[in-house]
């Protein structure tokens, strides 16, 4: 066999030595002499219209250089990976944590003091904290186009007919919780002007998208914006969204001075995306032998105040709703719904972990009904080469689930002898 | 407020700086001495990213006020390697794949260092306990434990060789 020089060999990671010796520069580590410190005033009200922001007292604090509000945003005041629905600085509050004002000051202390004395008048609207009230007919629209952002459907065969004739049918409702990514590095970065080009160095998973949104919000052509990814202390999907980038860009551009900003843990949790909480109504049907006949599911994902990766997450949830199993009749509907909760976006798995919980629970329940073991019912249904997925894709090549299942079972038998009395 | 004359030894070097007495040791290290290898993850003693060794004890530098370090000796991640040579623990972290985003790494290495100086031959449980004040969101810890084992074994071997 011919030898390759890379494939199959471990390569030392290029950033390894710098990381173990503390030399890697994360967003908060970048030394930028003379930089102003930025802090954001965040809404404590979940829903309402901003009537007035009075910054006069804040500007009197020694060291405070400028306070920006929505009125100072030079370009389109909206960004977002899929839907441009999130303002950099808002005049309409959609969750506790929305950004109202941005303070630039000589010291962090002065910036913090300024936050205390900015007066904001908000005409409050009733908050919609759950998907049902957000979807109710007369619910206040959180965004102009209404609270149901997207509906994704996956249909194959005739699920209704299969459910009528199946030997066993199991229906359950599942809910999953909101999850914070909790990367150990909070959001941070610096920005400065370099010969008419705005340079932003920040922890991010998405420099190219950041650049597009920063140029949109600041009304700058793309070639006037440079995003440089600083060493990034974990992301797990949470650093795909804009965090500090637009704030840094706005202040550096308007003030012509270097700026820096670091979220503390509280702000990081309050202001950034989460894993979507799901509500799933799931019905599965099987024949006497335990072969799946149909899956019908309605999935509602709470995307909170802004879309972020919500439409993609719910789409993925619909596509993966049947798990790694072959199901001939499928009827899935997945809704992505706005509420006044913290916004939900990408987090490891994009909606599939939530669906795995529902789909696998259903398999266990079906097994119980049919007096099969949990292992056996899975063996009878796993996708194999040649199987058709819920979306009708034929899996022509390798499919790993069967081998994985057997390997896991074999290992379980070794580490937990006598497990479950399962017949091999 | 009157400044505090802080004198301490950092990574073997004596430093004297005038600081606000309310400053945390973490701020002195990062903002005054520009030793940014020590990280802040929570600012309240939960994550261990700010771990340093203070007079031989592992501490969260976000919970130590600068004056509390007066007259003491601090070791940060920058003081672990000698003349650009990585320490056994640093090398073991690389070999074992115990570094992902790397943000917890300086604190983890210091926690491991403090452990090995107390107990040069720790078992898995002892390693787990030794790093229990340090959160890592990337690795799942198994490789970090492995790295500490590797380093301990290497150090033991060296000791043995030196003893012969
Ligand atoms: S920053 Fe000190 S323990 Fe988290
Ligand atoms: S390597 Fe990312 S937190 Fe540990």
Residue recorded with tokens 């580490």: A415
A318 alpha carbon, distance to own chain's centre: 16
Q: Per the CB < 8 Å rule, is A184 touching B41?
A: yes
For residue range A138-147, what is the model confidence (pLDDT) as tens digits? 999 999 999 9
Q: Is the pLDDT of residue A295 over 70?
A: yes
User: A222, A241, A271: which is the final residue of a domain?
Assistant: A271
Is the same domain home to A120 and A169?
Answer: no
Q: A22 touching B, CB under 8 A?
A: yes
Instruction: In chain A, count H helices and then E strands.
Output: 12, 15
pLDDT digits (tens, 9 = 90+) for B15-74: 999 999 999 999 999 999 999 999 999 999 999 999 999 999 999 999 999 999 999 999
Is the pLDDT at A423 greater than 50? The verdict is no
> How far, in Å, from the CA of B25 to the mean position of ligand 2?
23
Best mutation target, A108, A184, A233, A270, to test chain B (most B CBs within 10 A): A184
Indicate the residue of A20, A182, A183 with minimum beta-carbon distance to B105: A20
In a domain, A13, yes or no: no
Q: Please report whether residue A265 resides in a domain.
A: yes
Per-residue three-class SS string for chain B: CCCEEEEEEECCEEEEEEECCCCEHHHHHHHHCCCCCCCCCCCCCCCCCCEEEECCEEEEHHHCEHHHHCCCEEECHHHCCECCECCHHHHHHHHCCCCCCCCCHHHHHHHHHHHHHHCCCCCHHHHHHHCCCCCCCCCCCHHHHHHHHHHHHHHHHHHHHHHC
A220 lies in the same domain as A357: no
Nearest 5°: the CA angle A244, A101, A66 is 95
Is A292 part of a structural domain of the chain?
Answer: yes
Which atom of ligand 1 approaches the CA of B46 most closely? 3
Cross-chain Cβ contact B78/A28 below 8 Å: no
CA A339 from centroid of its chain's CA atoms: 15
Under the banding of pLDDT at 50, 70 and 90, the label for residue A225 is very high
pLDDT of residue B164: 52
Residue A343, both tokens: 């916004």
Query: Which pairing describes strands A259-262 and A36-42: parallel, antiparallel, or unpaired?
Result: parallel
- In terms of C-beta distances under 8 Å and separation of at least 24 residues, what long-range contacts does A114-117 make, across chains too? A114/A39, A114/A58, A114/A59, A114/A61, A114/A64, A114/A67, A115/A39, A115/A40, A115/A41, A115/A58, A117/A57, A117/A58, A117/A61
Residues with Cβ within 8 Å of A403's Cβ and at least 6 positions away in sequence, in order, are none
| Co-location of A313 and A169 in the same domain | yes
* Distance, CA of B164 to CA of B70 (rounded, Å): 41
Q: Using an 8 Å Cβ cutoff, are A129 and A252 in contact?
A: no
Instruction: Tell me the pLDDT tens digit for each residue of B45-57.
Output: 999 999 999 999 9
Whole-model pTM: value is: 0.95
pLDDT tier, A320 (very low <50, low <70, confident <90, very high otherwise): very high
Paired with A102 in beta bridges are A40, A68
- Is A335 part of any domain? yes
- Whether A90 and A198 share a structural domain: yes
Query: For B125-158, how does the pLDDT look when each residue is reduced to its tens digit (9 = 90+)?
Result: 999 999 999 999 999 999 999 999 999 999 999 8
Q: What pLDDT score was predicted for residue B98?
A: 98
Q: For ligand 1, atom 3, name the residue with the nearest CA.
A: B45
Judge contact between A203 and B72, C-beta under 8 A.
no
CA-based diameter of chain A, in Å?
78
Q: What is the CATH number of the domain that holds A342?
A: 3.30.365.10
A379 in a structural domain: no
Alpha helices in A177-319 (DSSP H): 207-218, 245-255, 265-271, 310-319
What contacts A172, CB < 8 A, 6 or more positions away? A281, A282, A358, A361, A362, A365
Report if residue A163 sits inside a domain. yes
DSSP string, A369-383: HHT--HHHHHHTTB-
B41 CB near a chain A CB, below 8 Å?
Answer: yes
Residue of A nearest to B109 (CA): A20
Among A349, A374, A399, residue at a domain's last position: A374
Q: Are residues A69 and A95 in the same domain?
A: yes
Contact flag B135-A264 (C-beta cutoff 8 Å) = no
Coil, strand, or helix at residue A160? Answer: helix
Query: Taking the CB of residue B17, how many other CB atoms lie within 10 A of it?
Result: 16
* Structural domain ending residue among the three candidates A255, A271, A287: A271
Whether A423 is in a domain gets the answer no
Give the pLDDT score at A419: 67
Determine the Cα–Cα distance for residues B10 and A350; give it in Å rounded to an integer. Answer: 45
C-beta separation of B25 from B66 below 8 A: yes
Residue whose Cα lies nearest atom 2 of ligand 2: it is B101
Please tell me which residue of chain A has the smallest CA distance to B38: A22
Domains identified in chain A, total number: 2
Residue A251 placed within a domain: yes
For residue A424, the model assigns a pLDDT of: 44
Rounded Cα–Cα distance for residues A47 and A142 (Å): 8
Q: Are residues A35 and A169 in the same domain?
A: no
Chain A interface, mutation test: which of B95, B103, B148, most A Cβ atoms within 10 Å?
B103
Q: Best of B100, B131, B133, B143 to mutate for ligand 2, by most ligand atoms within 8 A of CB? A: B100
Are residues A202 and A168 part of one domain? no
Minimum-distance ligand to the CA of A182?
2
Question: What is the predicted ipTM?
Answer: 0.96
Domains and CATH numbers, chain B: 4-79 (3.10.20.30), 88-163 (1.10.150.120)
For the ranges A1-15, A117-131, A318-332, the lowest mean pLDDT is seen at: A1-15
Here the tokens at position B15 are 């430093």
Task: Enumerate residues 173 to 192 of chain A having a beta carbon within 8 A of any beta carbon in chain B.
Answer: 181-186
Residues 6 or more apart in contact with residue A365 via CB below 8 angstroms: A170, A172, A284
Residue A103's DSSP bridge partners are A39, A67
Q: Range of A235's domain?
A: 21-124+182-271
CATH number at residue A115: 3.90.1170.50
Based on the domain organization, do A254 and A210 belong to the same domain? yes
Using CB distances shorter than 6 Å, the residues near ligand 2 are: A 184, 234; B 99-105, 136-139
A422 has a pLDDT exceeding 70 = no
Whether residues A281 and A365 share a domain: the answer is yes
Q: What is d(CA A392, CA A400) in angstroms, rounded to the nearest whole number?
A: 18
pLDDT (tens digit per residue) in B60-114: 999 999 999 999 999 999 999 888 899 999 999 999 999 999 999 999 999 999 9
Query: Is residue A356 located within the same domain as residue A221?
Result: no
| Confidence category of residue A1, pLDDT binned at 50, 70, 90 | low
Same domain, A84 and A198: yes
Provide the pLDDT for residue A12.
85
H or E, element range at A368 = helix A352-370
What span, in angstroms and rounded, lies between the C-alpha atoms of A73 and A90? Answer: 10
Q: Are residues A237 and A364 in the same domain?
A: no
The dihedral through the CA atoms of A355, A358, A364, A367 has a sign that is negative
Q: How many Cβ atoms sit within 10 Å of the Cβ of residue A237?
A: 21
């Amino acid at each position: 066999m011919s030898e390759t020089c890379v494939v199959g060999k471990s390569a030392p990671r290029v950033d390894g030595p710098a990381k173990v010796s503390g030399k890697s520069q994360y967003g908060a580590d970048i030394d930028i002499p003379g930089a102003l410190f930025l802090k954001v005033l965040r809404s404590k009200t979940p829903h309402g219209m901003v009537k007035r922001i009075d910054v006069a007292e804040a500007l009197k604090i020694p060291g405070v250089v400028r306070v920006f509000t929505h009125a100072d945003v030079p370009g389109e005041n909206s960004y977002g990976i899929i839907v441009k629905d999130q303002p950099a600085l808002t005049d309409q509050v959609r969750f506790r944590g929305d950004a109202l004002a941005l303070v630039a000051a000589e010291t962090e202390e002065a910036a913090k003091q300024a936050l205390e004395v900015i007066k904001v008048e908000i005409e409050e609207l009733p908050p919609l904290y759950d998907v049902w009230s957000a979807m109710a007919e007369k619910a206040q629209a959180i965004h102009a186009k209404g609270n149901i952002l997207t509906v994704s459907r996956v249909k194959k065969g005739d699920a209704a007919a299969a459910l009528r004739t199946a030997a066993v049918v199991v229906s359950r409702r599942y809910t999953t919780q909101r999850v914070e990514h909790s990367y150990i590095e909070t959001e941070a970065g610096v920005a400065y002007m370099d010969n008419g080009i705005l340079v932003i160095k920040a922890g991010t998973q998405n420099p190219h998208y950041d650049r597009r949104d920063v140029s949109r919000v600041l009304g700058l052509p793309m070639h006037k914006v440079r995003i440089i990814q600083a060493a990034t202390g974990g992301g797990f999907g949470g650093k795909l969204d804009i965090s500090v980038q637009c704030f840094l860009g706005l202040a550096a551009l308007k003030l012509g001075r270097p700026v820096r900003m670091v979220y503390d843990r509280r702000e990081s949790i309050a202001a950034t995306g989460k894993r979507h909480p799901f509500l799933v109504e799931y019905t599965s049907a099987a024949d006497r032998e335990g072969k799946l006949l149909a899956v019908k599911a309605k999935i509602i994902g709470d995307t909170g105040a802004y879309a972020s990766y919500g439409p993609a997450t719910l789409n993925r949830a619909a596509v993966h709703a049947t798990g790694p199993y072959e199901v001939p009749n499928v009827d899935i509907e997945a809704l992505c719904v706005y509420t006044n909760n913290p916004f939900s976006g990408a987090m490891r798995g994009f909606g599939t972990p939530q669906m795995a919980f529902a789909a696998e629970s259903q398999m266990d329940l079906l097994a119980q009904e049919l007096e099969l073991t949990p292992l056996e019912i899975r063996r009878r249904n796993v996708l194999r080469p040649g199987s058709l997925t819920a979306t009708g894709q034929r899996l022509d090549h390798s499919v790993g689930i069967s081998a994985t299942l057997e390997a896991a079972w074999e290992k379980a038998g070794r580490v937990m002898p006598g497990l479950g009395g399962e017949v091999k | 407020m009157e400044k505090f004359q802080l004198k301490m030894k950092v990574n073997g070097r004596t430093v004297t700086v005038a600081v606000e007495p309310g400053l945390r040791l973490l701020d002195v290290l990062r903002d005054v001495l520009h030793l940014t290898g020590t990280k802040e993850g929570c600012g309240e003693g939960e994550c261990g990213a700010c771990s340093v060794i203070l007079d031989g004890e592992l501490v969260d530098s976000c919970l130590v006020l600068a004056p509390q370090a007066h007259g003491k000796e601090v070791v940060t991640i920058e003081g672990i390697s000698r003349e650009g040579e990585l320490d056994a623990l640093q090398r073991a972290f690389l070999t074992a794949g115990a570094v992902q985003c790397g943000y917890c790494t300086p604190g983890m290495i210091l926690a491991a260092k403090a452990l090995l100086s107390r107990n040069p031959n720790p078992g898995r449980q002892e390693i787990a306990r030794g790093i229990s004040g340090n959160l890592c969101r990337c690795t799942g810890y198994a490789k970090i434990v492995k790295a500490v084992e590797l380093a301990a074994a290497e150090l033991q071997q060296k000791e043995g060789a030196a003893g012969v």
